[in-house]
Amino acid sequence: MKIAIPVKDENLTFFPNAGHTPKFAIFTMAGAGMFRSFTLDEVKNNPRTDIDHDHPEEEHACDHSHDDEEHVEQHNKMGRVLTDCNYIVVKTACKNTANSFTSQGIKLVKYNGESFQTGEILKELSTKFI
């Protein structure tokens, strides 16, 4: 089972805004119950070209038309780059971001905690990954 987490960089610092994250860390989960473990497979760049990857916006909220085809396509790039994932962890995700993942069969798992460490987040949410 594969799980994507939006991260700021290769240090795997969790990035709260899934749609504006610079990168996605992809983990494989193995085991069951309290014996689940997570292995980092790779870190993928966010394929969106309409955001500033050098100055990502953690608190950005989309204020433009959700039906703008060009903008929707930018979001859809994220879903396509993560098609091998079963889940994505999100703190915030606009409608288009959520749709980009669910249209590819990727389930969103909401994280409401305070940690920015992906390992801690995965352990905390591990029962959500079925």
pLDDT tens, 67-117?
Answer: 678 888 999 999 999 999 999 999 999 899 999 999 999 999 999 999 999
Fold of 2-50+69-128: Nucleotidyltransferase; domain 5 (3.30.420)
pLDDT at 70: 84
pLDDT in tens, 24-74: 999 999 998 778 999 999 999 999 988 775 665 656 555 555 567 888 899
The secondary structure of residue 103, as a DSSP letter, is T
- 112 burial (CB, 10 Å; 0-12 / 13-18 / 19+) is exposed
Domain boundaries, the chain: 2-50+69-128
Instruction: List, in sequence order, the alpha helices (H) in 83-130.
Output: 95-102, 118-125
Query: Which amino acid would we find at residue 53?
Result: H
Phi, psi of 70, deg, nearest 5: -65, -40
- Answer whether residue 14 shows pLDDT above 70: yes
Please name the helix (run of DSSP H) or strand (run of DSSP E) that holds residue 43, with its range, or none.
strand 37-45
Give the pLDDT confidence score for residue 61 in this predicted structure.
56
Residue 110: how many CB atoms within 10 A of its CB? Answer: 11
C-alpha triplet 94, 23, 68: angle, nearest 5°: 35
